[in-house]
Structure 1
Amino acid sequence: MSVALGQKVGQRQGPAHGLVMTARMRETLRVLHMSQVDLERFIVAQVDGNPLLERFDPPAFAAEGPMRAEAWGPDDATLRVQAGPMSIRERLLRQMMRAMPDGTDRRIGATLIDELDASGRLTADRADLARRLDVAQERIEAVRQRLMRFDPVGVAAVSLAECFAVQLQEQNRFDPAMAALLANLDMLARRDMTRLRAVCGVDADDLADMIAELRALNPRPWIEDLAEPVRTRIPDLIVRYGENSTWCLVAGQDPSDTVGLNMSLAERLGGLRREDERRRVAGWLSGARWLVHALARRQRSLMVVGEHILFRQADFMMRGPEALRPLTMRRVAEDLRLHDSTISRIVANKHVATPFGLFPLKFFFSAVVEGTNNEVRSAEAARAHIRRLIRNETADLVMSDERIVQALHRLGFVLSRRTVVKYREGLGIGSSFERRRIYRSAEKTGTVRRTSRTPSGRAVPLLT
């Protein structure tokens, strides 16, 4: 397995071989650490500030809904991994990249998106934004008007009335009567229907229809992002079942496929004669080449480390978390001849789709616990077994912590009761007394309860 990337990034240095960190090297290490969302923002900023960089649409990967791909093996559970919906921020940024070719407009749009509140309203003062961005206030307003018509429609409105008006305009349902209704939403809140009918110039039936139309609109286009977010829509890495009946690793989305160097423009600008212009172009060219190489190196690093994790945790792909083996970042660093901190940066904020679901890469690093017959076992595997044992219990057979200790010993784990309690509480699972009470309560009501609350208000999941 090639590890030449270590010669460039994070190579282990002895005390006598100090490494001077340049600004570019620090940026390269920062790129290694970024999540997909942070990397997308970074790329947008780099492309906006460098005319020699051009952006391409990423290659098609998965359709909406369940992940689609060729057959990876019999009953491959990876095919059931959900490609969760993009966050609204990601959708807006993607639409902005396609609809706004101008770099300044993109910079304005990205700033407006960052300024939205929890409902999707723009509460920031536009005059202040104009000073911060050094652009005319009219240009900010023009970008905002376009942003409001992206999906979801109504984002970046400054008021509820404007949010509704834009949605109605897009549906071709905005007329003078509806404009009058939106201008008098306070009357609607007071249920002053008599005055509303007079202001809008409609009868009671028409007003009822108009109110029904308003209720069908989305008053808070950003609100869905307040739900528990999907960790990643397209995984950084995907484990596939190969043609030779072995597991292999492929990239989920390669950021280096979306950015390139505009060579034709670079060649045209190469003929400039003024020294200051040539220096500026040289800076652009150097920055563009650095970004392209940094993104490619990030992807190579991620693939090398991911393949090694797959090699070390091969049993996981067949049996799940209960088959995890002890593994530390130091061990991987020594195997690949990289620095520990480089491994930490590479796996941070990265996710892999496996036959058992979507996992952070850090999940595969687990502390060592004592096993029977002088073996070493994975602490994460012990947690997985605890979760399974409790998941399979019933109201008549609730396992105490001592019984869990005994069951784990039969599975090859030597853990104290105190350690089992620590792991159980870390999983958010209540004591046997709390679980028994919840099971019995569920039996009496005829409902299946997944969580309850203790008298102190703590959530007690039955299944984790």
Structure 2
Amino acid sequence: MALGPRLDLRQSQSLVMTPQLQQAIKLLALSNLEIETFIGEALDANPLLDVTPETAPAEAAEPGDEARRTSLEGGSPVDQLIGEGRGAEDRPLDIDGAAIDADRDTGDGAVTLADAVARPGDSGDWSGDLRLAGGEEGPTIDERGGGGETLREHLDAQVGPATRDPVQAGIARVIIGHLDEAGYLPVALADIATDLDIDADEAARALALVHGFDPTGVGARSLSECIALQAREADRYDPCMARLIDNLDLLARGELARLKRMCGVDDEDFADMLRELRGYDPKPGLRFGGEPSGAVVPDILVAARADGGWDISLNQATLPRLIVNRGYYVEVRGSCDDKGSRAWLSEKLADANWLIKALDQRQRTILKVATELVKQQEGFFRRGVSQLRPLTLRAVAEAVGLHESTVSRVTSNKFLQCARGTYELKYFFSSGVASASGEGGASAEAVKAAIRQLIDAEDPKAILSDDTLVDMLKDKGFELARRTVAKYREAIGLGSSVQRRRQKALAAVR
């Protein structure tokens, strides 16, 4: 057989993603705020795009508004809920809204005294009953994240009145710049002295200057030093209190008898010392705001209707409504004399029409997925996290007739707001655990909620072990191994039975 070049014709099929298809896929994964930015850039690039004025009241809604809003009808196929052209008011609803418990589910976030002692660099309170050195209640979440005066600004304002030495003032400001949000100095003072090319004594004097600033305790290099500074300020730093503060690790381990012997005090004095200790602020910097934190803006709004159903809509406050400015197109087309100008104008018109259709399709897809989520997790919206069902992307994709990767993009970076709070769409997809009855399964989030409920209700004199929790959860219908219970317990920030016994012993001494 002779070897040589030759030309063959072959016919084959392949899927080629056009730039427009790639862009449409990217639009699905964007949140409403990111879409708003994208639309702003498109408006700058395309003169034929325009934004409509503020939308009219609901009575005057345009026919295309079903792409932004839908209602859930009990027992209806999802594809009948979207894009039928009917107004939301035309659809009867069967879900009983009277059964909705509007109480929001509370999350974790309490940090115990033992945790604060063991991990002084972490953020958080040392107990749910945080008190500052002056006796007032600790800062609330709003006060911490309100974006007011920052800790650095507050301390910088005190440098000038505290010293007239410009060198000391400069060193103090460098130290202030190294403080973390809790007010601690996480870097070694020797490193600061080396960086500034000064001796250690000069750096120590500047740090002592910072220690005298308000709030008391800032600039501390450890939890013990922070508490000691506050005890000195309150004139309570006697030898007994000093030994207590120097041995906070024993307090964290619950070795109260040993600690009392080291301090050389009786039961009454020891209890007073512990109450005094709990009155100090382990994280003095947290009472000041940091950088303003961005609030979560929901993309999907779910509300109970007066007739007992659900109204599911996109957050129109973050979705500008685009139109093609036909009048401007006609005006410009009349002045286009050359072929290149007409081709450019036609391209812009095609781009504008495509973008509007792509955004409309995105809205319909998001609503379709959100409607199925509400349908699948009806128990959660009515009764709370204990009724959250295990759910997968594949199950939703099969129900709405989309690919699993499309559902994944739709649920990325999207938040849903309902009567219970604001949740990321990914929250509603949870792995399942076996049911003791053998029928169906339960969501991992529901199991965590059950574990928290049992531990919150436990008797301080009869702390529940993980084995006991396994038996109690089985009575509730959850079939779990002991190590699984331990994993879920640790995931929600609850300590072991030994740790909880020590923590509750400390609370009893208080």
What range is the shorter-chain TM-score in?
0.5 to 0.7
Query: Would the aligned equivalents of 2:390 and 2:432 in 1 still touch at CA under 8 Å?
Result: yes
CA spacing shift, 1:79–1:251, aligned 2, 3 Å: farther
Aligned residue identity for 1:323:
Q
Q: Partner residue of 1:250?
A: 313
Unpaired segments ≥5 residues, structure 2: 1-11, 58-95, 106-146, 167-287
The match for 1:413 among 478, 486, 496 is 478
The match for 1:302 among 358, 366, 369 is 366
Cα distance between partner residues in 2 of 1:45 and 1:346: 22
Q: Partner residue of 1:319?
A: 383
Cα distance between partner residues in 1 of 2:419 and 2:472: 26
Cα distance between partner residues in 2 of 1:391 and 1:284: 62
For residues 436-455 of structure 1, the aligned pairs below 5 Å read 436-445=501-510
For residues 147-166 of structure 1, the aligned pairs below 5 Å read none
For residues 28-47 of structure 1, the aligned pairs below 5 Å read 28-47=24-43
Aligned residue pairs, count: 293
Cα distance between partner residues in 1 of 2:422 and 2:388: 15
392-401 or 283-292: bigger deviation: 392-401
Secondary structure at the aligned position of 1:373 is classed as coil
Query: Would the aligned equivalents of 2:99 and 2:382 in 1 still touch at CA under 8 Å?
Result: no
Query: Would the aligned equivalents of 1:386 and 1:404 in 2 still touch at CA under 8 Å?
Result: yes
Unpaired segments ≥5 residues, structure 1: 1-15, 62-71, 82-151, 154-159, 161-181, 194-222, 446-464
Cα distance between partner residues in 2 of 1:285 and 1:39: 20
Cα distance between partner residues in 1 of 2:489 and 2:430: 16
CA spacing shift, 1:275–1:423, aligned 2, 3 Å: same
CA spacing shift, 1:188–1:27, aligned 2, 3 Å: farther
Query: Would the aligned equivalents of 2:100 and 2:383 in 1 still touch at CA under 8 Å?
Result: no
Shift of 1:38: 2.1
Percent identical across equivalent pairs? Answer: 34
Query: Would the aligned equivalents of 1:327 and 1:367 in 2 still touch at CA under 8 Å?
Result: yes
CA spacing shift, 1:17–1:431, aligned 2, 3 Å: farther
For residues 311-350 of structure 1, the aligned pairs below 5 Å read 311-350=375-414
Computed over aligned residues only, the root mean square deviation of the Cα atoms, in angstroms, reads 3.7
**TM-superposition CA deviations, 1:247-301 (whole Å, max 9, x none):** 3322233755433322221221222122222222222222222222222111111
Secondary structure at the aligned position of 1:327 is classed as coil
The match for 1:351 among 396, 415, 434 is 415
Shift of 1:57: 6.5
TM-score normalised according to structure 1 size = 0.56
Secondary structure at the aligned position of 1:226 is classed as coil
Query: Is residue 398 from structure 1 mapped to residue 398 from structure 2 by the alignment?
Result: no
Shift of 1:241: 1.5
Secondary structure at the aligned position of 2:478 is classed as coil
Query: Is residue 373 from structure 1 mapped to residue 437 from structure 2 by the alignment?
Result: yes
Shift of 1:342: 0.4
Cα distance between partner residues in 2 of 1:342 and 1:330: 10
Aligned residue identity for 1:261:
V
Query: Would the aligned equivalents of 1:241 and 1:248 in 2 still touch at CA under 8 Å?
Result: yes
Cα distance between partner residues in 1 of 2:487 and 2:475: 20
Secondary structure at the aligned position of 1:428 is classed as coil
Q: Partner residue of 2:496?
A: 431
Cα distance between partner residues in 1 of 2:337 and 2:347: 15
CA spacing shift, 1:58–1:38, aligned 2, 3 Å: farther
Aligned residue identity for 1:24:
Q
Secondary structure at the aligned position of 2:312 is classed as strand
**TM-superposition CA deviations, 1:391-422 (whole Å, max 9, x none):** 33453343222222112111111000111111
CA spacing shift, 1:415–1:55, aligned 2, 3 Å: same
* Structure label with greater radius of gyration: 2
CA spacing shift, 1:38–1:439, aligned 2, 3 Å: farther
Shift of 1:375: 1.8
Cα distance between partner residues in 1 of 2:165 and 2:53: 51
Cα distance between partner residues in 2 of 1:360 and 1:58: 28
Shift of 1:54: 2.2
Shift of 1:339: 0.5
Query: Would the aligned equivalents of 1:326 and 1:376 in 2 still touch at CA under 8 Å?
Result: no
CA spacing shift, 1:394–1:186, aligned 2, 3 Å: closer
Aligned residue identity for 1:337:
G
TM-score normalised according to structure 2 size = 0.51
CA spacing shift, 1:21–1:251, aligned 2, 3 Å: same
